[in-house]
Amino acid sequence: MMNLKCPGCASDEMRVSFFHGQEVDSCTACGGIWFDSGELNAALSAADNGNDSVGIENSLGCYKGPSQKSCVHCDEVLHHYHLMDDFHVEIDICHSCTGVWIDEHEREKVVQSPQIHAALEELNKKVNLKTWLFQFLMQMPMEYNLKPKSTPWVTYTLIAINTFIFIATVLQPNATEWIYDTFALKPVDLVQGQHVTGLVSHMFMHGGWMHLIGNMYFLYVVGDNLEDALGHSRFLTMYLICGFAAAAGHIISDPSSSIYMVGASGAIAGLFGMYLLWFRHASLTFMFIIYQKKLSPMAFFAIWLLMNLAGAYFGGGGVAYWAHIGGFVAGLSIGLVLKKQVMRDNPILSMLNSDELKVAR
């Protein structure tokens, strides 16, 4: 039997192999795979990708024109198609025999395309009256992102601890002054080596119900995805590091201050930095008076950062702006350092960070 000619590298190194239960023709030189009509659907249906009835050959994305490759069987010119409308991985199709050619670097993206499709359905959901009412009344953004694979126990525990401590403080009004003296962070004390435990304990205290609710909401919004990507123990470690960085930012900005600082805002600001680097295709809604718009994390947190920089410059308001900025910078730094490892440990997240993914906003 005559050897088939590889569409990818034009070699004669095509050999029969098995791909997720299907007998296919693969090139031992460039690693590309040829699927006869129906074989790609069957292989993807057998693969571990969340869908056992894949029909992707019949629902490809937009046509991108003829390619420079030729069919292994009928020698017709192949044609480029996007794998899906919102996932611009290009595969090659023969219009004559409906065979499919996939280059090696496209293989895993194609195999996991059902998971990508499911993720895009979450990411591309449109804002509606329900989300508008929630944001208008609560002044909190709505998130459009992946559902975590594992239960975010650390995030839930942090929310529970913060809430418990706040309620316990409210129920002991006569002890409020002692609680703040003992557990809040006061820069002048830290500089003098006093009340060092405040570096940790201040992260679990809040000055009012809205302070608590706002912080816990944002912790819930970004924390579950980050904990899923990092793992429980490493997520907690990064959270605390960001909290320490936030405290450092506040102390450096005014080391002689005797004003108490409390709240998880700085640690959560650090989570913002990691989130925008690792979940850039997520969306957060921003409300311009009454107009609600989905924004990328980059755009959303750029607005947030500008507000904090303006607050730090003009001062006032009783807000520890430099703590927010310090935590955010720490989160960005951690996000950059760990990005390659996080993407390697979370291949679907890595694919969702590719430029081939197109998200509707």
Closest CA to 131 of 119, 123, 139: 139
Interacting residues of 88 by C-beta distance below 8 A, sequence separation 6+: 61, 82, 356, 357, 358
Say yes or no to pLDDT of 1 above 60: no
255-294 pLDDT, tens digit per residue, is 988 888 899 999 999 999 999 999 999 999 999 999 999 9
Question: 137: which 2 tokens?
Answer: 């009344």
343-361 pLDDT, tens digit per residue, is 999 999 999 999 999 998 8
For the residues of 132-145, what is the DSSP string, one character each?
A: HHHHHHH----EE-
Characterize the bridge pairing of strands 87-94 and 77-84.
antiparallel
Mapping DSSP to helix (H, G, I), strand (E, B) and coil, where does residue 23 land?
Answer: strand
Closest CA to 267 of 206, 328, 318: 328
298-310 pLDDT, tens digit per residue, is 999 999 999 999 9
Question: 73: which 2 tokens?
Answer: 């069987």
Measured at the CA of 21, the angle between CA 20 and CA 25, to 5 degrees, comes to 85
In eight-state DSSP terms, residue 323 is H
Give the pLDDT score at 102: 96
Angle of helix 209-230 versus helix 232-253 axis, rounded to 10: 130
* Residue 2: band (very low, low, confident or very high) from pLDDT cuts 50, 70, 90: low
Question: 262: which 2 tokens?
Answer: 């409390």
Please state the rounded mean pLDDT for residues 94-115: 95
Angstrom distance (rounded) from CA 181 to CA 184: 6
Angstrom distance (rounded) from CA 284 to CA 60: 29
Please state the rounded mean pLDDT for residues 160-184: 91
Question: 150: which 2 tokens?
Answer: 């594992």
In eight-state DSSP terms, residue 286 is E
Q: Are 278 and 197 in contact (CB under 8 A)?
A: no
Give the pLDDT score at 75: 86
Closest CA to 242 of 279, 200, 280: 200
Angstrom distance (rounded) from CA 180 to CA 182: 5
Give the pLDDT score at 191: 86
Question: 321: which 2 tokens?
Answer: 């702006």
Give the pLDDT score at 312: 87
120-144 pLDDT, tens digit per residue, is 999 999 999 999 999 999 999 999 9
CB atoms within 10 A of CB 343: 18
Measured at the CA of 277, the angle between CA 232 and CA 214, to 5 degrees, comes to 65
314-324 pLDDT, tens digit per residue, is 876 778 899 99
204-237 pLDDT, tens digit per residue, is 999 899 999 999 999 999 999 999 999 999 999 9
Place of tokens 């996932």: 87
Strands (E), 28-107: 33-35, 63-70, 77-84, 87-94, 100-102
Mapping DSSP to helix (H, G, I), strand (E, B) and coil, where does residue 153 land?
Answer: helix
Angstrom distance (rounded) from CA 306 to CA 326: 14
Q: Are 265 and 324 in contact (CB under 8 A)?
A: yes
CB atoms within 10 A of CB 208: 11
